[in-house]
Structure 1
Amino acid sequence: MLGIKNAIDIHVHSSPSIFPRSVDDFELAEQALAAGMRAIVLKAHEESTVSRAKIVTKFVKGIEVYGSLVLNEYVGGLNPYAVDIAIQQGAKIIWMPTGSAKHHLDYYGGKSDYKEQKSTIRLLPQKGITIFGNDGQVLPVVYEIVDLIKGSDAVLATGHLSPLETKALVKIASERGLEKILVAHPDLKINKMDLSLQLELVKMGAFVEKSMLTLMPSWQSIQPAELIHGMKLLGFDRCVLQTDFGQVNHPTPTEGYSQFIQLLFDHGLKEEEIKKMACDVPAELLSL
């Protein structure tokens, strides 16, 4: 078994959550610590996890736990005030909308949760957030958010925007000098992107997530060989491994990360190539 010592999972879910989760924040941190991981970034579709991460860090020593913010309706959508506060409190990643994104809602027939997992609480109907105005141009508030992130040490991540929105966002962020741009799971069926587009985004300066979730039965949207082909084409120094785990019908995130690394190794990737994506690149993004 290859193991996950010093690995970093920048995209992982735990409870409390509006969705059923396999572990809570403390269990996640303790399991990651026991496995020798270096850091994790908590992600919640409904709230900032910055305060949660700080509390966990106080009690679980030896693992770095960071928070993030997803710009869904629950925090005001494309809300620069929420972004500014989260950044100042230490958020490592600011995600564009996920379940509130118009693209997400269109994919799931107007639903803000997922057919693969259902919310445990009632969710109000949503119109859907897009970064485009009625004139087809990127909204001014998006520039404001990009500039706030640029002035911090945080990462801008694309969430569940459409491929067209993602391309526009990456272009703007790159042109405005933002160096930490992360394309969220472009192999996942929700916002699946052609490899040619992923390569175009990398050439603009973006990093790209490669996710264990995309290989799981109910979410599967790519085969291991194709996923690895993409890693090689994009470059191991531009890819970031993550699990996106936390769903109750999957292994725990730490177990899933270990399985992901072993799967890549069994399919021919070298240990140093895996280490680059699991340890070095995420550490660079998080400034560790």
Structure 2
Amino acid sequence: MNHLKGAIDIHVHSSPSIFPRSVNDLELAEQAKKAGMRAIVLKAHEESTVSRAKLVSKVIDGIEVYGSLVLNEYVGGLNPYAVDMAIQQGAKLIWMPTGSAKHHLEHYGGKSDYKEMKSTIRLLPQKGITVLAEDGRLLPVVYDIIDLIKGSGAVLATGHLSPLETRIVVEAAVSRGVEKVLVAHPDLKINKMDLSLQIELVKMGAYVEKSMLTLMPLWKSIEPDELVQGIRQIGLDKCILQTDFGQANHPTPTEGYNHFIQILLEHGLTEKEVEQMACSNPAELIGLT
């Protein structure tokens, strides 16, 4: 059964990529369109996907395809110039560092790779990016990035920062008037955070991702029952479903999304509740009317 009519995946990976992927950009868009999805947002750890999304949109109509930017070392890290360019070209999300984040590197023992998947190319060693100065305050450049995102229609998303860094970034972004803030996969073991903190961030005004990847064997960090209970405690209106799929050893992202929805329905969510988190909330987040 297809559950994907009108669904949006704001966090999905395809090739070209430094990691092995199950689909390329065109295949991903074609499959998502065929499944009746409304939109996808391409994510790459190593480059802006905005130009890629524009090219895909020229080739495949009937589905919205958007790009995003991850602030890893490969684009200059916390680089306002890259942020400004991506936003002006139509990026829907600006992600804080993932594989270049100090917290990510510490989680993987100093590697910007993952234990669960290996880069297909050599990666230079990295010191690790933190958003905090030695005194624990946000670096001035983070405020520059926040101010560029404010009023742009783009979303500030938190990446693989530590829970503490995430809290400080969300607080600063909201207090400076950023309209859309997203907490990246807070159930994933890389940046796993307590439910109480997720609730606190939502009270500040942030959305939180709920991800199929967190249920997969290699990445498993939560049980479906706990995921559903957490969604109810956080509030359905602030949760956004995504797959974070694209890994070569997983089903394709559209198959994964369909399976994710099936799991959530089997664990007590209603079709209407799923529709809110798969369709309405992400549409509101990325500004689709």
Deviation at 1:268, TM superposition (A): 1.2
Q: Which residue of 2 aligns with 1:50?
A: 50
Aligned length: 288
**Which structure 2 residues correspond to residues 122-141 of structure 1 after superposition, within 5 A?**
122-141=122-141
TM-score (norm. length: structure 1): 0.99
Q: Which residue of 2 aligns with 1:168?
A: 168
TM-score (norm. length: structure 2): 0.99
Q: Which residue of 2 aligns with 1:143?
A: 143
Q: Which residue of 2 aligns with 1:76?
A: 76
Paired AA for residue 246 in structure 1: G
CA distance in structure 2 between the partners assigned to 1:201 and 1:98 by the alignment:
19
Q: Which residue of 1 aligns with 2:22?
A: 22
CA distance in structure 2 between the partners assigned to 1:187 and 1:207 by the alignment:
13
Contact preservation (8 Å) 1:158, 1:182 = yes
Contact preservation (8 Å) 1:2, 1:262 = no
CA distance in structure 2 between the partners assigned to 1:76 and 1:176 by the alignment:
24
Contact preservation (8 Å) 2:2, 2:35 = no
Give CA deviations for 1:65-85 in whole Å, capped at 9, x if unaligned. Answer: 000000000000000000000
Give CA deviations for 1:137-166 in whole Å, capped at 9, x if unaligned. Answer: 110000110010013000000000000000
Matched, 1:34 2:31: no
Contact preservation (8 Å) 1:2, 1:261 = no
CA distance in structure 1 between the partners assigned to 2:128 and 2:155 by the alignment:
23
Give CA deviations for 1:229-248 in whole Å, capped at 9, x if unaligned. Answer: 11000111000000000001
| Percent identity of paired positions between Structure 1 and Structure 2 | 77
| Stretch deviating more after TM superposition (2-11 or 37-46) | 2-11
Contact preservation (8 Å) 2:151, 2:179 = no
Give CA deviations for 1:194-231 in whole Å, capped at 9, x if unaligned. Answer: 00000000000000000000000000000000000110
Deviation at 1:254, TM superposition (A): 0.4
Give CA deviations for 1:230-281 in whole Å, capped at 9, x if unaligned. Answer: 1000111000000000001100000000000111111111011000000000
CA distance in structure 2 between the partners assigned to 1:136 and 1:268 by the alignment:
42
Q: Which aligned runs of 4 or more in structure 1 are off by greater than 6 angstroms?
A: none
CA distance in structure 2 between the partners assigned to 1:151 and 1:238 by the alignment:
20
Q: Which residue of 1 aligns with 2:209?
A: 209
Matched, 1:86 2:121: no
Give CA deviations for 1:164-194 in whole Å, capped at 9, x if unaligned. Answer: 0000000001101112000000000000000
CA distance in structure 1 between the partners assigned to 2:102 and 2:112 by the alignment:
9
Q: Which residue of 1 aligns with 2:178?
A: 178
Unpaired runs of 5+ residues, structure 1, are none
CA distance in structure 2 between the partners assigned to 1:153 and 1:179 by the alignment:
8
